[in-house]
Amino acid sequence: MFRFDREAIFGHPRLRLFDDILPLHAYLDDLERHINEIFVAQGERVVQRGRVVALRSTDRGRLVSAFKAGLYLGKYHDLGNRTRFLKRMVAAEHSYEPIRGETVLFLFVGVGKPVYDHLVTYSVGRVTRIAAGQRANLPWGYEVPAEARDPERYVRENVPRLRQLLLEVLEEKSGEPMQALRSAYPVGYVMPPFLLEFGEEALIKNVFRQRLFEPGAQGATAEVVRDMLDCVFALDREKWEVLFDYHGPHVQRWRRAMRRLRDEELTAEEVFRRYDFPVEDEEEGWVRIPKGVSLYEVLLETVGKLPPTFWEKQKRKGGGPKDT
């Protein structure tokens, strides 16, 4: 039976949820009951990581992608081979058709509007978007920006104003329709729970890559997308570890290392000397390098090292968020 990890939601340090004026726990009770009746009772494995719940994965047991990969390669005698797609097609950087139509349905609870705006931009490979409209649904609270240097300032300036707007609606003191009042909400208001469903190929090649793996991903969005990644790891660790290996954050460093080695025409000696590894000169133009040094690690930490992102530069300038 599925139960929400409510501490991950109500105990989040950047969330200010209005559970004192809205029946948020009752809402979650209703969600829990229906998730169990609709998904768990049908055999779905429902998992929560942080503020994200994976409700359904269409490639249960990896059998559907196994069937597709076997048919694609003409292996009619072995259509249930669950490793063929990973070991033959992904490893060869071949077609991803076997998982292109396989999807994961995510429920987001306690997530701010800026994160929703980032995720909803992915229309290719996204087959479902269900978000409660603001004409009939109220925000659940406020999320302090992850990049805030003075978090308490955002709380002081936004939480009382948003709370007052909600009270006016709940007490029927506002003469304004809700669709008009939403323009007065702070940008970081917490949306009611929403659903997004993505194809697995779109997840690994687009959503995870651009919002988590590549440098510069914004804090709150990267945090939620990390929760999404943790969910799919929980659903099928073997599949997603292989996909991560071929598309994860290290791939950016590989590419940078190869470009710099090619463009700067560096030799092994130059790489070691430039980055202060001990190199000893020998006779007749030979050099001696330390035994047991991993060339892979040397390349990633030297010519493959990525430049600081905009957000990293900003953090250095401002000294990062203040302690509260």
Q: Going by DSSP bridges, is the β-strand pair 141-143/15-17 parallel, antiparallel, or unpaired? A: antiparallel
Q: Which residues contact 125 (CB under 8 A, 6 or more apart)?
A: 100, 198, 199, 201, 202, 203, 206, 207
| pLDDT higher than 70, residue 85 | yes
| pLDDT higher than 80, residue 313 | no
Calculate the alpha carbon distances from 250 to 86, 233, 241, 293 in Å.
Answer: 19, 18, 13, 19
Q: What is the pLDDT of residue 311?
A: 56
Q: What is the pLDDT of residue 323?
A: 40
pLDDT tens for each residue of 58-72: 999 999 999 999 999
pLDDT tens for each residue of 134-176: 667 899 999 999 989 999 999 999 999 999 999 988 888 877 8
Q: What is the CATH number of domain 6-58+101-248?
A: 3.30.1360.170
Instruction: List, by residue range, all CATH 3.30.1360.170 domains of the chain.
Output: 6-58+101-248
What torsion do the CA atoms of 148, 152, 153, 155 make, to the nearest 10 degrees? 100
Region of poorest pLDDT, from 107-116, 144-153, 187-196, 303-312:
303-312
DSSP 3-state of 111: coil
pLDDT tens for each residue of 223-268: 999 999 999 999 999 999 999 999 998 888 888 999 988 998 988 8
Q: What value does the CA radius of gyration of the chain take, rounded to a whole number of Å?
A: 25
